[in-house]
Amino acid sequence: MKKLDFEELHQEVAEKLATEKSIVLSTASGNKVTARTMSHVNDGLEIMIQTGGNSEKAIQIRNNPNVAFAVSNVQIEAVAAFSGHPLDERNNRFVVLYKQKFPQYFERYSSYPDEILLRFQPTKVILYKYIDGNPCKDILDVSAQEAFRTGI
């Protein structure tokens, strides 16, 4: 195991999230696990999505706020929190980011009265990589504020 610079890996993940147009969100409640592709924005490592308040994902998250994401070569474990309607004043940062990245979705869906904003705080991020032809994992342990590489 090789120790990595936490801030550098944090920045790499944030940049990856910002450039990707969609992300797969997995939720679970009881014995049912579901996954779906979502349009997301991020502010650093915080991931934000809007969805219908009565959607299956929202119901599952109410029962179990622990979720997982997958995008490109990145796997993320996170904890969800409800943040009210997307257009609530406290969600101004989301509005700016979402309008910029998805103007058509913002115009079409954000004002629906049943829309909610979900915010996700990652606890662990794994980037699957090849370094000099060898597979490895760069791990960002957000909870412990540590970064390291395994597999080489």
Q: Tell me the per-residue pLDDT of 30-84, one tens digit each, with 9 for 90 and over.
A: 999 999 999 999 999 999 999 999 999 999 999 999 999 999 999 999 999 999 9
Q: Cα–Cα distance between 86 and 48 in angstroms, integer?
A: 10
CATH 1.10.1510.10 fits 7-126, yes or no: no
Q: Cα–Cα distance between 102 and 93 in angstroms, integer?
A: 14
pLDDT digits (tens, 9 = 90+) for 115-129: 999 999 999 999 999
What is the average pLDDT across 119-148?
97
- What is the b/e burial string over 56-88, where b = at least 16 CB atoms within 10 angstroms of the residue's CB? ebbebbeeebebbbebeebbbbbebeebebbbe
**Count of CB atoms within 10 A of residue 28's CB?**
16
What is the average pLDDT across 84-104?
98
Percent of the chain at pLDDT > 90 equals 99
Tokens for 35, please give them. 């996954």
Computed over every residue of the chain, the mean pLDDT equals 97
Name the CA radius of gyration of the chain, rounded: 16
Q: Cα–Cα distance between 63 and 15 in angstroms, integer?
A: 31
